[in-house]
Amino acid sequence: MRTCVSVFQYQSYQELLLALIEQRKQNGKPFSYRWFSARAGLTSPNFLQLVVKGKRHLSGASVEKVIEIFHLKKKKVSFSGP
């Protein structure tokens, strides 16, 4: 079953990331924090996990990798809310 996450329904990017991770798993695609870090070219295998927990923040370069890996559209990502 294929579901689609709407970036507009989340109050924080941490919540959005968790939903994107869950969507990827539900769609039968591989995901682990180590997999993400390797794919994004990050040296820390748990960087995204720390971001999701609120212990780290995404840099501009990290955001670009998230957009690429989760196949997001930049127009939606730049939405800042009300």
The parent domain of residue 34 ranges over 10-74
Kindly report whether the global pTM for this prediction surpasses the value 0.85.
no
- pLDDT tens across 11-62, in order? 888 999 999 999 999 989 989 999 999 999 998 999 999 999 999 998 888 8
Which CATH number characterizes residue 40's domain?
1.10.260
SS3 for 31?
coil
CA gap 15, 22 in Å, rounded: 11
Using pLDDT thresholds of 50, 70 and 90, give the confidence band for residue 3.
low
Return phi, psi of residue 7, to 5°.
-65, -20
CA gap 32, 25 in Å, rounded: 9
Residue 81 belongs to some domain of the structure: no
Total tally of structural domains belonging to the chain: 1
